[in-house]
Structure 1
Amino acid sequence: MLTLSSPIKKVFAVRRFTTFVSISTLILLLTSSAWGQQRTLQKNLCDEPSGRVYSTGDRLLKSGRYLCLGERISPQNGNTVKVLCFMNRKIMYLKQNTIFDAQICASPPNEAVQCSVLNVAPCTHDYKGSDDEKNAPIVTSPYGSSIINNRPQISWRSVAGADSYTVVVKGNGVNWETDVKNAMTMPYPKQQKELQYGNTYTITVISNHGDQPLNSSPLVVHLLPVDDVQWIIDEVKQIKDLGLPPDEAAFRDLDAIYMSKLILDESIKTLEARVMAGSQNPTIYRLLGDRYLGALLPEEAEQTYTIADQLAKSSANTSELNKVQSGLKLLKWLKNR
């Protein structure tokens, strides 16, 4: 479980601009045990689940149950029913009979203006990278411009000819630098003051050859306010308490919670953990590709899309295969524009 002071293994910050890849609906229900079999029957009520019940209090729907568009929420005896909409990543507290339809569970209004595999027009960034950028120690973690870990691990790409790197972190109440040799990653130093919630910091990595600096790569990260961080911690705990299959929780519920605050950091880290655990679920890899693309990491996106493509084909998952191919087409278009 996340805590306000717990270290986070791997995160990334998008430099100089923010964007994220989002897709309105995620699919593929994993089943395991009688609990998984029960939800398989529930999934058959609709082609694709659109939400989940997160509390007791409904006359018929139990906590943890999937929701389909068109289903009725019926609070009993004045109770409030908590539900999560996967499409707009919103949590709703319903106190009266409500139809769970596209009017209350739909993609957010600004979804159309985001760079995504569903809409390439706003994708204004150069995914090929300038010559200077290719020779810079590009920071690869933390992921995303917003983070919740106040002691993030810092990673970067190697630079040809560099024999050391200097990491500099500056911002409100924090100002330190350290030299690193024979490595492209470092934990946040224990002796240094942690980042402060609600503040913005610049992390710069400088490549060196001997005593001469070669190039540098700055990035800006914003640490969410403490109230937002605590909200995420509480929601993550409730998801884990439901006892969902790990893959399902990662690509549906946890991703929805993290991306509701645009925390690419935690979403990518959670999906990477499922990959490391040996998941063969194409949705895990496809969504990870989406998130890498949103974090401006096209090489990583292409690798995971390729694996997702193979898994979707081997499992005859045509719906997921279409999403993977859309991602690959967008990636190719971005590189060639």
Structure 2
Amino acid sequence: MQFQKPLCLILLATAIAWPGAVFAQQKKANQHCNPIGRVLRANNKALVGALICQGQRVQGVVQQGNAILCFVTNGISPFMDSPVNCATSKTVKQPKMRLCETPQGGKCYRNKGIGTAQTPRILSPYGRVIRNQRPNVTWQAVPEATSYQIQIESQSRSLWAKTVAGTSIQYPQSLPPLSPNNTYRLSVVAFKQNAPLVADSQIIQVLDTADAEWLKQNEQFIHSLKLDPDQTAYLDLNVIYLSKGLLNESIQVLEERVTAGSDHPEVYRVLGDHYWAVALVDQAYAKYQKAEQLAEIQGNAAALEKAKAGLALIEQYYSQLPDNKNEDQK
């Protein structure tokens, strides 16, 4: 299979300064490094799959045929001519406090405290771009709601609407699938009997056909390397999914590792980052707490620092939330 150069892949004209044997040893021994990239293709097979850690020296020139997957780009174009240009840090940004809209046009803030939900907050799909043309939609339950209406619209025209009592539904097989590269509005309205209470909505866009094929090929290539499954999830697959805006895919793969019993703190920390990015603050807090616990037990200083940074941001966020509903809802 011909491997297509992914967003973060770079064919090198530079060399890693360490001998292959040393690099291979680092791949096994240096479990707590702060990785900025991975060697995916190399003439020296001992290099394939090795992590490039932050602070490691890169110099010299070698034969063509090497490829590096950069894990963090910080908004810079990920096509680079050397792994030294891979970004060396990632900052978790604090999301804005999310407002919800009532059917009457008022605003409501999410109450302080874990587990509270005043709107049918859409939980999945996460993010704007989706891969599945028949997405599974889930949302938070609303106190006093007796039913929920789900609707998908395109250019203000309703394509599908359904009323259910639960908090999840699959886009039906009986309808045509959502079209690649098209934009839709997904809405969930909570009802008490026949009266609308509150609503949530988001814009979704189906990944285009070319990007879907690119993604499939690169997934297959990464899996063919038979890397550590936890690292594959939070490093390699995470970066190719995010390069196409597929936050939903990354969260699903990471949650699969959680279900499988992963004890890697970075699996939970990256999940915390993702939930934080979409303002699912309670879920982010729980993942950061788990990452902190595991990092302390394992002596993983790099993961511990990141988990603590995430917790600090969320604690600051919680401290600024109102204890009760705002005046619009009184």
TM-score range, shorter chain: 0.7 to 0.9
Matched, 1:299 2:282: yes
Structure 2 counterpart of 1:177, from 149, 153, 161:
161
- Label 1:214 to 1:174 Cα distance change in 2 as closer, same or farther (>3 A): closer
Which amino acid is 2:190 matched to? Answer: S
State the Cα deviation string for residues 228-280 of structure 1 (Å, max 9, x = none). 22212211111111111110101111111112223211111111110010111
Q: How does 1:79-228 map to 2 (within 5 A)?
A: 79-88=64-73, 100-101=83-84, 104-106=85-87, 116-117=91-92, 123=95, 125-126=96-97, 131=108, 134-171=117-154, 175-181=159-165, 183-228=166-211
> Which one has more relative contact order, counting CA pairs under 8 Å at least 6 apart?
1
Residue aligned with 2:160, SS: strand
Instruction: From 29, 37, 41, give the equivalent of 1:51.
Output: 37
- Asked if the contact 1:82/1:91 (under 8 Å) is kept, the reply is no
1:71 paired with 2:77, answer no
Question: What amino acid is the match of 2:185?
Answer: T
Kindly report the root-mean-square deviation, in angstroms, between the aligned alpha carbons of the 2 structures. Answer: 2.9
- Partners of 2:188 and 2:31 in 1: CA distance: 52
Distance in 1 between residues matched to 2:194 and 2:118, nearest whole Å? 18
Q: 3-state DSSP class of the match of 1:219?
A: strand
Partner Cα distance (1:148, 1:189) in 2: 16
Aligned residue in 2 for 1:289: 272
CA displacement 1:16-59 (0-9 Å, x = unmatched):
xxxxxxxxxxxxxxxxxxxxx95555654994332122224x35
Letter in 2 for 1:229: A
- Output the TM-score relative to the length of structure 2: 0.76
Q: What amino acid sits opposite 1:126 in the alignment?
A: M
User: Residues 174 and 191 from structure 1, CA distance in 2 versus in 1: closer, same or farther, beyond 3 angstroms?
Assistant: farther
TM-score, normalised to structure 1, is: 0.74
SS in 2 for 1:50: strand
SS at match of 1:71: coil
Contact 1:51 1:67 in 2 (8 A): yes
- The residue number in structure 1 matching 2:249 is 266
1:306 CA drift (Å): 1.2
Amino acid at match of 2:168: T
Cα distance in structure 1, aligned partners of 2:176 and 2:60: 48
| Separation in 2, partners of 1:219, 1:41 | 42
Q: Deviations over 1:78-114 (max 9, x none)?
A: x4322211122876586xxxx532xx22269xx7xxx
Listed as ranges, the gaps of 5+ residues in structure 1 are: 1-36
Relative distance call for 1:71 and 1:217 in structure 2 (3 A) is: same
Give the distance between the partners of 1:45 and 1:163, measured in 2 at CA: 50
Distance 2:25 2:226 in 1: 13
How many matched pairs?
281
Q: Which has the larger radius of gyration?
A: 2
State the secondary structure of the residue aligned to 2:219: helix
What corresponds to 2:231 in structure 1? Answer: 248
Match in the other structure for 2:5: none
Corresponding residue SS for 2:163: strand
SS in 2 for 1:308: helix
**Which range is displaced more, 150-159 or 168-177?**
168-177
Which of 294, 304, 315 is 2:298 aligned to? 315
Q: Could you say if the C-alpha distance between residues 144 and 259 of structure 1 is closer, same or farther in structure 2, counting changes exceeding 3 Å?
A: same
User: What is the CA deviation profile of residues 264-313 of structure 1, one whole-angstrom value per residue up to 9, with x for unaligned ones?
Assistant: 11111111110010111111111111111001100100111111111111
Q: Distance in 1 between matches of 2:178 and 2:269?
A: 32
CA distance in 2, matches of 1:188, 1:287: 28
Q: State the identity %.
A: 30
**Partners in 2 of 1:250 and 1:128 — Cα distance?**
32
Question: What secondary structure does 1:232 align onto?
Answer: helix
CA contact (8 A) 2:27 2:51 kept: no
| One-letter identity of the residue aligned with 2:73 | N
Distance in 2 (CA, whole Å) between partners of 1:140 and 1:46 is 32
> Structure 2, unaligned stretches of length 5 or more?
1-22, 101-106, 111-116, 321-330
Are 2:319 and 1:333 aligned?
no
**How far did 1:222 drift?**
1.7
